[in-house]
Amino acid sequence: MFPGRLGLVQRVLPVYRAPFFDALATACSGGLSVFAGQTAAAEAIQTTDLLEVARYAPARNLHFGQVGSPLYICWQKGLLRWLQAWQPDALIVEANPRYLSTRWAIHWMHNRRCPVLAWGLGAPASRHTLEAMRRPGRQLFLTQFDGLIAYSQRGAEEYRRLGLPPDRVFVAPNATARRPQNPPFGRPLASAERKLVLFVGRLQRRKRIDLLLKACAALPLQLQPELCIVGEGPALQEFQALARQVYPQAQFVGTHRGPELEPYFASADLFVLPGTGGLAVQEAMAHGLPVIVAEGDGTQDDLVQPGNGWRIPPGDLQALTNILHQALSNPDRLRQMGRESYRIVSEEASIERMVEVFVHALVMTVEGFKLKFGS
């Protein structure tokens, strides 16, 4: 337990984070309040203001520039008023220097001798022409924090390379699902039937379903799988049109959530995420599925290991085709890798594990803060 009142600042509150915040709230003796605002125009993020255990405090987000662009910045109105009302003993914010109001929150907390931790992906080098100018500012911004929680080991190492003390950097594997309670589905060790490849997610161009369709079509006829695509989105018609041309046996079954997804996970042999993003990887692993994912920001590095799946270069059709051929040629190995997926989610990457790391980081940071100020 964290023995105090915790505040947490998010630019927005995605639906998928609500279970984690509620679980974290149960581990805080004084409760948890989440301060978050709304998305910018055209952002494809499903948000919520409903929390069962944690408290939600609405922010008014002022967006300047386009989200995702190098020049985007955000100001969250009402932040200091919320801090004054909630009076947190510790604060967690996003490790993003573009959220300008965060600096005010840091000063407010430090003036009251209360610690501030940041939570983020890491600090990867950018190829943008402004990188050389921005990196010193990012380093200065990050050194203001009393602790940093990274999504992955890669992210933690990036923070350390900026000069942050190793004992102030913690790793909480990014998780969106709770620790599985039931054993994975009992799939046969081998089968002569066609294997089922599954994708679950929002259908956007960056998900690269086009690569998945083309890779399946390039396989030898005897290895070509059933392909089930769960989800909807702005690129649905585009992907359906391509499927009719290159892989007409692909099935687009629409959006399904929660218990509705169970039959799809139960019948699948392999889960594939050919593009960026994707929150269903952990859920697929919890159902005992091996996975293929495109390498991205490092959040998948700790989750997808040689024992349970493959990471491929993004946008590489040949690599995806080769790995699909390798995976579908060995059903026995697929089953073994599926069992390892289940073990990883059960022991290393779950909401419960994230809560454990967050509480540990909070307790260690508060203790260090007390030693520093002698209080």
For residue 188, being part of any structural domain is answered with no
H or E element that contains 57: strand 55-58
Domain that holds residue 126: 6-178+350-373
Tell whether 109 and 213 lie within a shared domain.
no
187: in domain: no
232/288 same-domain check? yes
Residues 203 and 284 in one domain: yes
Could you count the other beta carbons within 10 Å of the beta carbon of residue 334? 20
Task: Say if 131 falls within a structural domain.
Answer: yes
107 and 245 both lie in a single domain: no
**The pLDDT of residue 186:** 63
The answer, as to whether pTM is greater than 0.75, is: yes
Do 155 and 166 lie in a common domain?
Answer: yes
CATH value at residue 11: 3.40.50.2000
**Does 191 fall in a domain?**
no
The reported pLDDT for the residue numbered 130 is 61
Six token digits for residue 214: 């083309």
If asked whether residues 118 and 80 sit together in one domain, one would say yes
Q: Is 360 found in the same domain as 330?
A: no
Cα 135 from chain centre: 24
Q: Are residues 248 and 173 in the same domain?
A: no
40 assigned to some structural domain: yes
pLDDT of 38 reads 95
pLDDT at residue 193, as a whole number = 76
User: Does 279 map to a domain?
Assistant: yes
pLDDT confidence of residue 173:
87
Please identify which residue in the block is written with the tokens 């990012």: 138
Give me the residues of the chain with pLDDT under 50, please. 190
Query: In one letter, which amino acid is 30?
Result: G
Question: How many angstroms separate the CA atoms of 250 and 290, rounded?
Answer: 20
Looking up tokens 């294997």 gives 195
Closest CA to 151 of 284, 258, 300: 300
How many separate domains does the chain show? Answer: 2
* Residues 169, 162: Cα–Cα separation, whole Å: 11
Burial label for 133, CB within 10 Å (0-12, 13-18, 19+), is: exposed
- The answer to whether residues 32 and 146 belong to one domain is yes
